Structure 1
Amino acid sequence: MGIAREVFGEALPLAERYAAFLAKAGVERGLIGPREVDRLWERHLINCAVVSEVIPEDAQVVDVGSGAGLPGVVLAIVRPDLRVILLEPLLRRTTFLNECVELLELPNVEVRRGRAEDMTGEFSVDVATARAVAPLERLATWALPLLRPGGELLALKGERAATELDEAKAVLDRFGVRSTELLQVGQGMVDPPTTLVRVVAGRGEVVGRRQRAPRRAKGSRKRSS
């Protein structure tokens, strides 16, 4: 537990409570496979917690397809400065997440039931996270409209990260993203390190084939390029 203590610090007891809940209720309800119990810390909790290294202070985060709360709940535990929305379409999973938030007494977490693609205009956040939800090509179309201009999609990916980034190029271009990159976080803490695809949103989101620009304040003038 040495690395876990280093990663979670004073929040370790809370992380331990979450791990116990995952190992029991998470397995019983099919959110975590029984074989994952013995590797919950390295493969799941620490793997998710190190993502916090690249999230700005006081950011608002939406965890798309949160499932059992990975990485959303973990990020809320390790970074109480974050405001986290756990977005999940399935009732049984949102029920689990609500019980989890109540058990852990996380004041910085909100659980919302719904599909990301139906949430455009409902809220706008600084960071969107996702883990094992969908290929980047599809995930980007769901997550990017939820970001403020300059916001970041942080997708936890494995060995196919570079390939998925290449395959998503056309979609990302259509959304007018500012930049993309592959990152590895948690060096020396998890083996292998956690691989992230970071996508920085452009000025506005695409609706169909048209790009919708952010609203300008009354009296402001549109700059000529």
Structure 2
Amino acid sequence: MPAERLTLLERYGGLLASDGITRGLIGPREVPRLWERHLLNCALLAPLIGDGASVADLGSGAGLPGMVLAIARPDLRITLVEPMARRVEFLEEVRAELGLDVRVVRARAEQWEGPAAFDVVTARALAPLARLLAWGMPLVASGGCLLAMKGSSAADEIAAAQSELTRRRAGAELVTSSVSGCQPITVVRVVRETGSGIGWRSESARRHRRERA
């Protein structure tokens, strides 16, 4: 990561360790492990995303991983989706303080349809995979993917979500990302089968038809 981006990450870490604590966005016990458990952990997601991709980070919370991705990868077009007002306020302040080109939307992941489809949809510890598929896959553009940061239960979650994956004609795989000196992360990458016709537009159309019925 270039030095100027690392400086921004350090400033963001400082905001998390100060305002993030006083506003109850992260616990005080997280401060000693802020870099290893949160900042560097989220930065490891960046190599899995293509150049110039549009990204929707669902349930962004205090900005993890979306804000870290915006810092590490200024080429990405990132939208942070978060329902809680105090978290949205913090995200807006971080965006302004660090001069980041991100969009912040106050909405629940399961209700937000988005203005368009995204190349990548991300989520970190938001919901079990089966539920996350229902929220995230309608937002994924053709040829895009859902990247869900998971822990040791990732394989079990894929197994439990098989019926939902089949229904959505999508496949899931485990992907790891690591750099020297950091604990590797486990990511579930979900990709829709080519030509499945299941995307943002078709999902939204079905929703509107159900609402009119």
Asked if Structure 1 and Structure 2 have the same fold, meaning a TM-score greater than 0.5 normalized by the shorter chain, the answer is: yes
- Are 1:123 and 2:113 matched, yes or no? no
CA drift at 1:205: 3.1
1:212 aligns to what?
202
With over 3 angstroms needed to count, the CA separation of the structure-2 counterparts of 1:77 and 1:165, relative to structure 1, is: same
Superposed, 1:193-204 pairs within 5 Å as 193-202=184-193, 203-204=196-197
Aligned amino acid, residue 121 of structure 2: A
TM-score, normalised to structure 1's length? 0.85
Native 8 Å contact 2:8 2:71 kept in 1? yes
2:129 aligns to what?
136
1:163 aligns to what?
156
Distance in 2 (CA, whole Å) between partners of 1:82 and 1:206 is 21
Distance in 1 (CA, whole Å) between partners of 2:145 and 2:112 is 17
Aligned amino acid, residue 177 of structure 2: V
With over 3 angstroms needed to count, the CA separation of the structure-2 counterparts of 1:43 and 1:166, relative to structure 1, is: same
Instruction: Give unmatched runs, 5+ long, in structure 1.
Output: 1-6, 216-225
CA drift at 1:172: 1.2
The one-character-per-residue Cα deviations of 1:126-152 (angstroms, maximum 9, x if unpaired) are 001100111111111100001101211
Name the SS of the counterpart of 1:57 in structure 2: coil
CA drift at 1:85: 0.2
Aligned amino acid, residue 37 of structure 1: V
Distance in 1 (CA, whole Å) between partners of 2:199 and 2:126 is 21
1:184 aligns to what?
176
With over 3 angstroms needed to count, the CA separation of the structure-2 counterparts of 1:102 and 1:213, relative to structure 1, is: closer
CA drift at 1:187: 4.0
The one-character-per-residue Cα deviations of 1:32-74 (angstroms, maximum 9, x if unpaired) are 1100001111110000001111100000000000000000000
Native 8 Å contact 1:119 1:146 kept in 2? no
CA drift at 1:173: 1.0
Aligned amino acid, residue 81 of structure 1: D
How many residues align structurally?
203
1:49 aligns to what?
43
Paired-residue identity, %:
50
Instruction: Give unmatched runs, 5+ long, in structure 2.
Output: 206-213
**Larger Rg over CA atoms:** 1
With over 3 angstroms needed to count, the CA separation of the structure-2 counterparts of 1:127 and 1:189, relative to structure 1, is: farther
Distance in 1 (CA, whole Å) between partners of 2:186 and 2:3 is 23
